[in-house]
């Protein structure tokens, strides 16, 4: 009887259609007429992560998405993807 239950469970799991991941991904955003040195003045929803991490910014009000400025574009990713799960928890969060 247990074998039948296991086979039934396996067949339902294998027959379930794949669901797309809800995990947010990275994206790029052009700075248009600005450079990395003028990002804080031009973008109200960006703030510096830390003095030691030059050109890294938190996006939005929280500390879940981090952006790196390269020349005239931002690469923004969730912090776990950007730094990796072992490093992301030690990055200071200034949510002000």
In 3D space, the residue among 74, 71, 73 whose CA is nearest the CA of residue 58 turns out to be: 74
The torsion angle over the Cα atoms of residues 38, 40, 45 and 49, rounded to 10 degrees, is 120
- pLDDT, position 39: 76
pLDDT of residue 80: 84
Confidence (pTM) = 0.65
Domain-by-domain residue ranges, the chain? 21-95
- pLDDT by residue, tens only, the chain of 96 residues: 555 444 444 444 455 444 444 556 899 988 887 788 887 666 778 888 887 788 888 888 888 898 999 888 999 999 888 877 777 777 778 665
Does residue 93 contact residue 63 with C-beta atoms inside 8 Å? yes
Q: How far apart are the first and last CA of the chain?
A: 59
């Amino acid at each position: 009887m247990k074998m039948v239950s296991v086979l039934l469970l396996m067949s339902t799991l294998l027959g379930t259609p794949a669901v797309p991941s809800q995990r947010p991904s990275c994206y790029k955003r052009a700075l248009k007429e600005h450079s990395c040195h003028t990002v804080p003045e031009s973008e109200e929803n960006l703030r510096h992560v830390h003095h030691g991490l030059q050109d890294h910014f938190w996006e939005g009000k929280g500390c879940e998405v981090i952006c790196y400025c390269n020349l005239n574009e931002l690469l923004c990713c969730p912090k776990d993807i950007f730094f990796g799960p072992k490093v992301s928890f030690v990055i200071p969060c200034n949510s002000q």
